[in-house]
Amino acid sequence: MLKKHVYISISLCFLFFVQQQNFAQSIKKLLKQGTEAMNEKDYFSAAQLYNQVILLDSSTIEYQYLYATASRLNYDNDIALHWYQKVFKVDNGREYPETIFWLGELLKSKAQYKQAKKFFTKFATGNKKSRDEHLKKMAEKSKLEGESCDLAQLLIKSPMPITVEHLDSNVNSKVSEYAPIEADSLLYFSSLRDKKDKDKKADLAFNKIFISKKENQKWQRAMEMDTIINKRGVHTANPCFNTDFTEIIFSECQQKNAATFVCKLYEAKYVGGKWTTPILLSSPVNVEGSTTTQPCLSKINDEQYLFFSSDRAGGQGGMDIWYCKKSADESFTNPVNAGKLINSYEDEITPYFESVTQTLYFSSNHHKGLGGFDVFKSEYKNDAFKAPENGGYPLNSPLNDIYYSVNSKKNKVYLSSNRVGSYFEEKESCCNDIYAFAIPSLIPDEPVKPIDTALQVISQMKLLVPLTLYFHNDEPDAKTKAITTKKNYKATCEAYLAMRPLYLSEFSKDLKNTDKQTAENKVENFFEDSVQAGLNDLEKFALLLEDVLQRGETVKITMKGFCSPLASTDYNVNLAKRRIVSLQNYFNQYKKGMFVPYVQSNKLIYFEEDVGELPVSKVSDDYYDTRNSVYNPSAASERKIQIIAVSEIR
């Protein structure tokens, strides 16, 4: 009987061993296939493969990171965010530092700008001195993205007076529609939609140019342009026309892999009621080995120019905006790069030059925007492009906004976007749709009102509010019931930041392995994302305050202290008041007292709101349990004051 039990036990162990071996082999095979798909930029297949890995083993951080990355590149933003958050919770940016940056980008795409900025700041701070040049470059980008989050909030609070219209299903479908150009009652655009041939068999999906006609103020069902333009077996897209619509230039693209195309520009004439056979534009417009795409024909000072986007040599990096003059003999001059003000080491695409206002519109994923690609504008003046400005909200959204164009009547703008509300088949934000909005005359009858720059700066200050500042236990001036202090908040905070090693050791004491790492992550994140971030925001606030006061404005700052209901209310109320005074001391001592004259003349007014009581706390108030009552980040987050309001008095 004993032998039988031993035999069964050995058999079960062997079976378990075999299952584990098969399990490991399955994961290894899927990982290899996933790597191959990523190398081919087939992010859809890669995401499917890594999803199968996750179904077999969802606890390994490497697999979580791979699935998150493939999902992000496949525009499955919600899935990517979910798994990056899991990676970050355990790893905290040690083995997978880019996780922090991509969390910022994904939160930005959801318009969660304050939360996104925390991640961008964290990444920029941690990697600005990295020996890895790639991470160092990303840190520079992250700093810019943090500033973009501030700008995005300002733009959303001051929207453009427009109503953006989503064109209906006669134009838009569940795949991408883009590159809209309206000429009177005809709308030209590009699409990847499928069609059935005469044998009811689906063509391979190729981008083609479509036309929709407007009748009774409604766009009719779109039809393909004729096959002289839409050749079979190639991707055809991005049409542009000359002023009288007798010439078309468009892109023909060959697909290298699942996500990469090589494009060239072709030209055709409208003669005798039909288009001539397109011809390839010769060098210097098309360059062998480079992509040349997204053309726009327009006029600079009454002379015809061709604008386009290209990754050719001699640019700033990525896709750049280029332009060249079209001579009387139909030849093109050597293309000129639009310059460093316009182009960056990332991508600038979809140029449109508006001839009436002599303004270049283009999209970029580098300049400060609301998220993804934003539309920017740059005035062409004195033979040069001025620094670009963000086109504003709701022209721009937290996702991609591209292919800005103005119709031939100069009273409507079209663009393409994958913003929320666009049609999709499987995943939201996968595909671009065409949108439009009406605009007033491009030559206004009345002079433009000057911008109130002081109000803009005050708006930037308000973005920082509520501004939360944190303190070590019983600081400033421990064990006193005084309601004032000589200490300056900045000095107090710097002393607090220096206590980070103590907090790390005390809060993780007696813990091991994952529990210890999790505890240390909480402390690190609290000091970076709350204590240090609060001090950084205070210094930005002071700079903006300096600017506003120097413009002659009167500013009122409302401050509020908080106390815990778990301790003596009388003591904590006095402590909260001392903390507010330490903040006032910071302002009064700022730049050798430069704010003091403004306080004395009532141009800067401090207002102290009644001390507020925090909700009932779940953290320990046990004096002897300092790990939880003092060094626990949850307890530390209750030791705070806030600037809760900023008011301008005019």
Which band of pLDDT confidence, cut at 50, 70 and 90, is reported for residue 184? Answer: confident
Confidence check: pLDDT of 53 > 70: yes
Q: Considering only the top CATH level, what class is 453-649?
A: alpha beta
Angstrom distance (rounded) from CA 359 to CA 342: 12
Q: Which amino acid is at 60?
A: T
Start and end residues for every CATH 1.25.40.10 domain found in the chain:
26-157
87 or 429, greater pLDDT:
87
pLDDT for position 199: 42
pLDDT for position 567: 63
DSSP result, 111-180: T-HHHHHHHHHHHHHHHTT-SSHHHHHHHHHHHHHHHHHHHHHHHHHS--S---EE--TTT--SS-EEEE
**Two tokens at 270?**
């409208």
Contact 242, 228 (CB under 8 A): no
Which band of pLDDT confidence, cut at 50, 70 and 90, is reported for residue 569? Answer: confident
Strand positions, DSSP E, 226-312: 235-241, 247-255, 261-271, 274-275, 279-280, 292-300, 303-310
Average pLDDT of every residue of the chain = 90
Q: Which amino acid is at 58?
A: S
Confidence check: pLDDT of 479 > 80: yes
The residue behind tokens 């720059």 is: 453
> From 3.90.550.10, 2.60.120.1570, 2.120.10.30, 2.70.98.60, which CATH number describes the 165-438 domain?
2.120.10.30
**Two tokens at 11?**
């058999």
Angstrom distance (rounded) from CA 508 to CA 520: 6
Q: Return the closest-CA partner of residue 632 out of 520, 532, 511.
A: 520
Start and end residues for every CATH 2.120.10.30 domain found in the chain:
165-438
Angstrom distance (rounded) from CA 620 to CA 641: 20
pLDDT for position 613: 61
Rounded mean pLDDT, 155-160: 93
For helices 453-463 and 533-550, the axis angle rounded to 10 degrees is 160
Which band of pLDDT confidence, cut at 50, 70 and 90, is reported for residue 114? Answer: very high
High-pLDDT (> 90) share of the chain, %: 77
199 or 14, greater pLDDT:
14
* Model confidence pLDDT, tens digit, residues 57-91: 999 999 999 999 999 999 999 999 999 999 999 99
pTM: 0.83
High-pLDDT (> 70) share of the chain, %: 91
Angstrom distance (rounded) from CA 208 to CA 210: 6
pLDDT for position 23: 66
Contacts of residue 17, Cβ cutoff 8 Å, sequence gap at least 6: none
Rounded mean pLDDT, 582-608: 95
Angstrom distance (rounded) from CA 337 to CA 310: 10
Which band of pLDDT confidence, cut at 50, 70 and 90, is reported for residue 449? Answer: low
26-157: CATH topology is 1.25.40
Start and end residues for every CATH 3.30.1330.60 domain found in the chain:
453-649
